[in-house]
Amino acid sequence: MLLLLGAILALTCLYCYLTRTHGHWAKQKNVPTLPGCWPGVGHMLPSLLMQESLEYLADRAYREAPGDASAVGIYFMRKPMLVLRDPDLVKQVLQSDFASFHHNGREINPKADAILARNPFFVHDLQAWRESRARVVGHLSGKKLSCLFAIARNVCEKMTAFVERRLAESKLQEYEPELKKLFERYTGEMVANSAFEVEGQCFADERDPGSFHVVAEGLFEPGLVNVVKQAVVFFLPELAGFADVRFIPQSTEAFFRETLLSILKHRREQPQKPNDFLQFVLDTNDENDTESIIADLLIYHTDVYETSSLTLAFFVYQLARNPEEQDKIRRHVRDASGGKPITYESLKAMSYLEQAVYESLRLIPPASALYKRCSRETTLLGEDGFECRMRPGDGVMLPVMGLQNDPRYWDDPEAFRPDRFGPEQLAERNRYLFLAFGEGPRMCVGMRLGLMLVKLAAATLLLRYRIVPSAKSPWPLEMDRSSFLAYAKGGVWARFKRLEEESVRR
């Protein structure tokens, strides 16, 4: 009997401990709680079962929240997290009250991943973040982007030569690539050419284990190993340090380090220095400080390689599914370039192409949510009377996908309509409804570079090829909800055909 009572008491105490914080949002004014909260794990059971990332949990909470609620509460294990549904509250977190929410929620243990911990995205100390961001911004000024443009245009020529070889091999005179894999070659070669002054071999016909895109492929893609690794690295940094779990594998870091050391030796012997990203980094670092140099180069690689290839894949998919818009954008590109090779200035003039990229990012942003952490006590106030006290350590999720596809804010949100991002529409719309690049002081530092790379690749392909849907990609795409980035199950596919073999709509 005593053993039974002791067991009941122990289980009761355990239950109270596991659920003690789960009444937090019930005490707040106007904060409903998402159903499905489990003792100890909160709303993270689907995540623990590898079914749903935290980002997609935020998206689900956004969509399942009752009525016009300004926010909905969830629990990350035992920690309270608030999912915002009001763009004015988003503005308060990202801009107005930035000092209270300057922490990005994801953490990197510098003992486990010293290089990645230097990325401004993961730096939490405010002064260290300012210094880190200023350094990266300096590498991507307008003048330096124009230098990188010349390299990117050369990479685009390699990409079209690769596509032409695939077309020549096809009896149907068409090339059907998985778009993410194709554009990984493009961004991988861009990193190799601009950051390491080497041929990346990304467009080689035979798979080269030493090519830049092969070395980096699979780093972000969903799968059991990656999902577990990302959960440990981002949310259990102490365990990551203890178990030496790294986001960037040691083999990948060693590859870049060895490549850098050989390039530095060669560059010291060169009397004339090239205008590339590596030189921009060397100009702002001690040449002997290899750790700082490799950190800046890996930041560049991470930002360029994955997000730009994802953005391109989904954009080209949208072009295939919307042939009238594809033709309109193609005519716009032709007019802006004047029938001549694309220049840095003519690319900047392709405003409708840029609107189309933004619209694609609205429909499928690379990251479906942003994660912030409260760093000092404050109160979130909505115009509808919403009021919520936030304590240090409380999490805030900004559901990018939800806000950008909400019919309350976007007419016919599933339609691909680039005119949504015309000057008049931008002036009328709350800017915090579009968060593909973030907003406020921590807005994506590589936005201009990413847009340049995406626009240039898309414009180059549109001038040569008609892009048509592939039966391998359904409409709409089914997303892999276990990943913290946007990945489609089965990949993203399209078919390329030479324009001269197609009748072009005028």
The answer to whether 355 and 422 have CB atoms below 8 angstroms apart is: yes
* CA dist., res. 325 & res. 129, Å (int): 41
d(CA 113, CA 232): 12
* DSSP symbols for 191-248: HHHHHS-S---TT-SS--TTSHHHHHTTSS--SHHHHHHHHHHHH-HHHHHHHT--SS
DSSP code of residue 371: E
Amino acid at 433: L
Annotated binding-site residue? 444: yes
Integer Cα distance of 21 and 33 in angstroms? 13
- Residue 15 in tokens: 């239950």
Is the bond into 222 cis (omega within 30 degrees of 0)? no
Alpha carbons 227 and 223: distance in angstroms, whole number = 6
Q: Give the Å distances, CA to CA, from 116 to 122, 152, 297, 441.
A: 8, 25, 11, 20
Which amino acid does the sequence have at 22? Answer: H
Determine the Cα–Cα distance for residues 163 and 178; give it in Å rounded to an integer.
Answer: 12
Instruction: Detail the residues annotated as belonging to a binding site.
Output: 444
Instruction: Detail the residues annotated as belonging to a binding site for heme.
Output: 444
